[in-house]
C-alpha cells in the first residue's frame, strides 16, 4: 500500500533548513543538493522531531536494508541531526561572541524578527558595530589559520567554513539596520543562509563541469575559499550604504582596516621535511595557477574561473628537489628544479627564479 505523503509546512521546512545550515547532517558537505528526510519513513509525519536534512547520497544510505550495505537507521540519523544542530548553533554564536569581546554588543541590535519596529535603529550602535568588524574578521582568520596550516584539504576546508559562518552572521547583523523583511520578504537569517548555500552550489557547478566530485577534494577547498571571498565582498557592499550617513565615519580608513592581512605567519620558513605537505593547494605562478594534490597529481588553471587541467601530470618532492611530470608532444616529460626558498605564502625555484604565490 502506497504511503500518503503530506506536504511539509513551509515554516517547518524553513526551520529545518536553517537549523541545518542547508547542509546534510550526516556528511556535512556544503553546497550539494539536499532533501528533508522523514526519519520514521512516514511521509505524512511532519513533526519537526521526525525531520532531518540529508544529501541524496546519505538519503540512499537510509534505504539500504540488506546485503553488505549497512542501513543508516533512524537512531543514527537522530544522533547525527541533533549533533549537527548543536554544532551549527555554536558556529553562529561565535561571531557575536567575538563582537562582544571586541567591544560591540550585538545582543542590543534591533530585532530581525519583530513584526514592526518600535523605534528607528540606533545609528551609534551601528557605527560601533561597523567599526568592530575589522577586528572580528581578523579574529575569524586567526582562528582558522591553525586549520589552514595543517595541510589536509578537509581540515583547511573547515577553516574556510568557520570564516564563512562568521561572515554570514555579520551580514545578518548588518541587516538589522535595514527595514524589516527588506530582503525578498524573508527574515535575514533565512535570506542570508539561503544565499550562502546558493554561492556554494554555484561555485561547485562552476569548478566541476563534469559533475560533483569530478575535480577531487581540492576543488571543494577552492569552493569554500571562493564563498569566503564572496561574503567578504558582500560585507563591504552592505557597509557602504549603511555608513554613508554616520557622523565622523571614515570609509577609507575602515576599508583599509578591513583589508588588513590577518596572516602573521606569511614569512614563516617551511622546513625541507614539510615541503610535501605544505605545497598542497593552489599557487599562482607565471601566467597560470598550479595546483598540487595529495595523491601526487598536479594541474594547471589558466584563469581563475577555468577548470583544472590534470591529465597525466604528476609531482613529487625529494629533499629540496621538485619533480614535475607533464605531457609533451606524444609522450611525457619530467622536469627537475631546486626549491631555493619556501615560506607559508611563497616558494621559489631555481629555474629563472620562478615564484609561486599562495592562492587558495
pLDDT band of residue 102 (cuts 50, 70, 90) is low
- 159/112: higher pLDDT: 159
The domain made up of 272-358 has a fold known as Lipocalin (2.40.128)
Does the global pTM surpass 0.85?
Answer: no
pLDDT averaged over every residue in the chain: 83
Give yes or no for residue 266 having a pLDDT over 70. no
> Are 21 and 193 contacting, i.e. CB atoms less than 8 angstroms apart?
yes
Q: Choose the weakest-confidence range: 58-67, 95-104, 235-244.
A: 95-104
Distance in angstroms (rounded) separating the CA atoms of residues 140 and 142: 5
Distance in angstroms (rounded) separating the CA atoms of residues 117 and 154: 43
Q: Choose the weakest-confidence range: 150-164, 219-233, 336-350.
A: 150-164
Give yes or no for residue 112 having a pLDDT over 60. no
Distance in angstroms (rounded) separating the CA atoms of residues 91 and 102: 17
Closest of 197, 167, 195, 206 to residue 304, by C-alpha: 206
Distance in angstroms (rounded) separating the CA atoms of residues 183 and 344: 40
pLDDT band of residue 267 (cuts 50, 70, 90) is low
> Are 280 and 292 contacting, i.e. CB atoms less than 8 angstroms apart?
yes
> Under the phi-then-psi rule, with left for phi > 0, alpha for psi from -120 to 50, and beta for the rest, what region is 263?
beta
DSSP H helical segments within the chain, as ranges? 10-19, 56-61, 74-101, 123-148, 153-174, 188-207, 217-242, 251-258, 275-278
Q: Over range 291-299, report the average pLDDT.
A: 90
Q: Over range 113-126, report the average pLDDT.
A: 60
Distance in angstroms (rounded) separating the CA atoms of residues 192 and 18: 10
The string of pLDDT tens digits covering residues 301-357 is: 887 777 888 999 999 999 999 999 999 888 999 999 999 989 888 899 986 568 888
pLDDT band of residue 230 (cuts 50, 70, 90) is very high
List the chain domain ranges. 10-81, 102-258, 272-358
Residues 6+ apart with CB under 8 A from 348: 339, 340, 341, 342, 354, 355, 356
Amino acid at each position: 500500500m502506497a504511503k500518503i505523503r503530506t506536504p511539509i509546512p513551509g515554516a517547518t521546512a524553513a526551520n529545518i533548513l536553517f537549523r541545518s545550515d542547508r547542509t546534510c547532517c550526516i556528511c556535512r558537505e556544503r553546497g550539494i543538493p539536499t532533501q528533508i528526510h522523514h526519519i520514521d519513513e512516514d511521509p505524512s509525519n511532519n513533526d519537526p522531531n521526525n525531520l532531518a536534512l540529508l544529501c541524496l547520497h546519505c538519503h540512499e544510505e537510509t534505504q539500504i536494508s540488506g546485503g553488505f550495505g549497512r542501513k543508516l537507521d533512524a537512531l543514527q540519523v537522530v544522533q547525527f541531526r541533533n549533533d549537527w544542530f548543536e554544532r551549527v548553533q555554536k558556529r553562529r554564536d561565535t561571531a557575536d561572541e567575538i563582537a562582544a569581546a571586541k567591544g560591540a554588543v550585538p545582543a542590543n541590535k534591533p530585532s530581525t524578527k519583530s513584526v514592526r519596529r518600535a523605534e528607528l535603529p540606533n545609528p551609534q550602535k551601528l557605527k560601533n558595530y561597523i567599526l568592530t568588524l575589522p577586528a572580528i574578521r581578523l579574529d575569524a582568520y586567526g582562528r582558522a589559520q591553525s586549520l589552514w596550516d595543517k595541510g589536509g584539504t578537509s581540515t583547511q576546508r573547515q577553516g574556510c567554513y568557520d570564516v564563512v559562518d562568521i561572515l554570514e552572521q555579520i551580514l545578518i547583523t548588518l541587516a538589522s539596520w535595514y527595514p524589516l523583511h527588506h530582503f525578498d520578504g524573508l527574515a535575514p537569517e533565512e535570506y542570508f543562509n539561503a544565499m550562502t548555500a546558493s554561492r556554494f552550489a554555484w561555485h561547485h557547478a562552476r569548478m566541476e563541469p563534469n559533475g560533483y566530485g569530478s575535480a577531487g577534494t581540492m576543488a571543494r577547498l577552492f569552493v569554500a575559499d571562493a564563498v569566503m571571498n564572496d561574503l567578504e565582498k558582500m560585507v563591504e557592499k552592505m557597509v557602504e550604504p549603511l555608513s554613508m550617513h554616520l557622523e565622523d565615519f571614515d570609509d577609507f580608513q575602515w576599508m583599509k582596516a578591513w583589508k588588513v592581512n590577518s596572516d602573521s605567519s606569511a614569512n614563516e620558513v617551511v622546513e625541507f621535511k614539510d615541503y610535501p605537505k605544505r605545497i598542497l593547494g593552489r599557487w599562482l605562478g607565471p601566467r597560470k595557477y598550479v595546483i598540487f594534490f595529495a595523491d601526487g597529481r598536479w594541474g594547471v588553471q589558466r584563469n581563475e574561473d577555468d577548470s583544472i587541467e590534470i591529465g597525466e601530470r604528476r609531482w613529487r618532492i625529494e629533499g629540496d628537489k621538485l619533480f614535475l611530470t607533464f605531457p609533451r608532444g606524444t609522450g611525457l616529460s619530467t622536469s627537475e628544479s631546486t626549491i631555493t626558498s619556501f615560506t607559508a605564502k611563497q616558494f621559489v625555484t631555481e629555474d629563472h627564479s620562478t615564484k609561486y604565490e599562495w592562492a587558495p
